[in-house]
Amino acid sequence: MATHKRKTQADEFLAEYNIKQDAQDAQADQDAQDAQDKTDADKEVADFVGKPTPETQAHKDAVKEGIVPDDKAAEQEQAKVVQIQDRARKQAANNATFAQRRAQNIKTATDPIIRKGAQVVDYVGAAKTVGGVGLLLVILFLLLFIVVRVNAAGNTRLQQLWSMLNGRATLTGAVTPTGIESNGGGASGDFSAAPNNPFNGTSSTNTFPSATLAQDASTFAGSYRTYTGGI
Amino acid sequence: MNTQETNVYMFVVSWVLMIGLLTLFNRTRFGHVLIYYSLLLMILLILVSEYAQLTPLLSGIETPAALNAQLYTNMPK
């Protein structure tokens, strides 16, 4: 698996620090160039007035009057700047180290969890699926439609579907309930009595005598009931 | 659209959505295994809960043994 190194906070900090450091270096170079130019100009002035050496009184006077640059003060100033820069650099390095350490600690803490999670997913994904999902769906279908009985009469879903096909059963939602408000598609009402005779479409009441039903039990095989279960 | 039609509409959409999501999930290796073992668990639970319905399947195996036992008992010693 290809690894991609994430840019941490410490990396960003270091990048920013490097940019700042480059800018500072460029500024320092520019300052040094300016100082050199100034020195050259001062030398020209000194040459004009008589080339005083650092040891002579004339040089000291020239320094005092600002004609010649004070090298000692400049050196001290430069040393101060270097010291400040060093301190800032050390501080930045410390900060960067701290950020790196913090990022490393977070990485050390979270990596095993992520790795473990990936291992679990790989382990589960590698499990065998003999026969595939299709076979299990077929078995489930057979069990749910042939084995499981879903109503008080002990009918299976397949029997109920068959009853639906030959007109011996109807969906309760298809029968207009009398004296009952909209039932929202659920089963309601009195299902104790047999439904209307399907062979007598004009009657709105139960015209099928229960005695006949009992007599014809062998013909109807006891499945002359309203569909009350869910598929 | 009355309430009953809305219910039917929601019923159909829910089923289509569920089957679509399960199909997509089944295309991943992890999801395939998860669905497979969930179905297996469903089958096992149905077999356990509908044990009474399935006992007739076992009776065919038990009867010969019982008959043999009876025959053995009835055998002249």
**Residue A220's pLDDT is what?**
46
Check if B68 contacts A (Cβ < 8 Å): no
What global pTM score does this model have? Answer: 0.43
**Residue B30's pLDDT is what?**
92
Backbone angles phi, psi at B2, to 5 degrees: -85, 180
**Residue B40's pLDDT is what?**
96
Check if B44 contacts A (Cβ < 8 Å): no
More confidently predicted of B4 and B43: B43
Which chain B residues contact residue A147 at CB under 8 A? 46, 50, 53-54
Q: Rounded distance, CA B52 to CA A77, Å?
A: 100
Six-digit token string for A186: 């659920």
Is pLDDT at B39 greater than 90 in this prediction? yes
Find the domain containing B33 and state its range. Answer: 3-74
Q: Rounded distance, CA B43 to CA A172, Å?
A: 29
Six-digit token string for A180: 């009952």
- Reference A6, options A91, A110, A95; nearest CA is A110
Q: Which of A42-46, A111-115, A158-162 has the highest mean pLDDT?
A: A158-162
Mutate which: A119, A129, A181, A182, vs B, most B CBs within 10 A = A129
Is pLDDT at B47 greater than 90 in this prediction? yes
DSSP A147: I
Q: Rounded distance, CA A134 to CA B35, Å?
A: 11
- The partner residue sitting opposite B32, judged by closest CB among A121, A129, A182, is A129
The region of weakest confidence among A46-60, A137-151, A160-174, A216-230 is A216-230
Backbone angles phi, psi at B65, to 5 degrees: -65, -40
For B16-37, the three-class secondary structure string (H helix, E strand, C coil) is HHHHHHHHHHHCCHHHHHHHHH
Q: Rounded distance, CA A55 to CA A116, Å?
A: 77
- The partner residue sitting opposite A133, judged by closest CB among B8, B39, B53, is B39
Are B15 and A192 a contacting pair, CB within 8 Å? no
Is pLDDT at A172 greater than 80 in this prediction? no
**Residue A229's pLDDT is what?**
58
Q: Over pLDDT 70: what percentage of chain A?
A: 67
ipTM of this complex prediction, to 2 decimal places: 0.70
Please write the tens of the pLDDT for every residue from A72-92.
788 898 999 999 999 999 998
pLDDT range class, residue B21, cuts 50, 70, 90: very high
Which chain B residues contact residue A125 at CB under 8 A? 29-30, 33
Domain residue ranges of chain A, discontinuous segments joined by +: 9-125, 135-176+189-220
Is pLDDT at A168 greater than 70 in this prediction? yes
Mutate which: B9, B11, B46, vs A, most A CBs within 10 A = B46
| Alpha-carbon distance A144 to nearest alpha carbon in chain B (angstroms) | 8
pLDDT range class, residue A231, cuts 50, 70, 90: low
Looking at the DSSP bridge assignments, the partners of residue A149 are: A156
**Residue A14's pLDDT is what?**
77
Q: Is A186 helix (H, G, I), strand (E, B) or coil?
A: coil
**Residue A144's pLDDT is what?**
94
Q: Mean pLDDT, to the nearest integer, of A102-123?
A: 88
The region of weakest confidence among A57-71, A187-201, B10-24 is A187-201
Cα–Cα distances in angstroms (integers) from residue A79 to residues A29, A75, B26, in the given order: 15, 6, 71
**Residue B12's pLDDT is what?**
93
Domain count, chain B: 1
- CB-CB neighbours of A154 under 10 Å: 11
Which amino acid appears at position A219 of this protein? T
